[in-house]
């Protein structure tokens, strides 16, 4: 029952996301970034109408980059530049449980 409830919640959340931003969210494994706050700020502050491009430093699993690039389709003259080392062994961060970020990248 818990899995069915989680799946139903995920479907509902994806539908709400799509209605709000006009594109589907990235896969759950890539969408851990919570970029919705950033997307809302971009829209509310009218940043799509300001001259210039966007730069993202650090892509992690790419979900945030996907969200930002998808939103920028509303302003096709803009570019998104994403900078990352793209080296799974680079991040030696380890959480309290012992999970290492480089292991997350490898998976």
Q: How far is CA 81 from CA 43, 69, 101, in A?
A: 19, 9, 23
Which tokens go with 62? 């790419």
Domain span at residue 15 reads 2-106
Residue at token pair 């589907």: 24
1 — pLDDT class (breaks 50, 70, 90): low
pLDDT per residue over 61-84, tens digit each? 899 999 999 999 999 999 999 998
| E runs forming strands in 1-107 | 54-57, 80-83
The number of domains in the chain is 1
12-28 pLDDT, tens digit per residue, is 999 999 999 999 999 98
Distance of CA 36 to the CA centre of its chain: 8
**What Rg do the C-alpha atoms of the chain give, in angstroms?**
16
**Is 90 exceeded by the pLDDT of residue 89?**
no
In the structure encoding, which two tokens stand for residue 105, read together?
């990248």
């Amino acid at each position: 029952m818990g899995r069915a409830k989680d799946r139903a919640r995920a479907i509902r959340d994806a539908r709400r996301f799509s209605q709000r931003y006009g594109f589907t969210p990235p896969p759950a494994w890539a969408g851990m970034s919570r970029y919705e706050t950033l997307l809302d700020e971009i829209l509310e502050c009218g940043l799509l109408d300001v001259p210039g491009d966007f730069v993202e430093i650090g892509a992690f699993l790419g979900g945030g980059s996907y969200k930002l690039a998808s939103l920028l389709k509303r302003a096709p003259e803009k570019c998104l530049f994403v900078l990352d080392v793209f080296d799974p062994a680079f991040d030696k961060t380890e959480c309290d449980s012992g999970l290492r970020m480089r292991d997350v990248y490898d998976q």
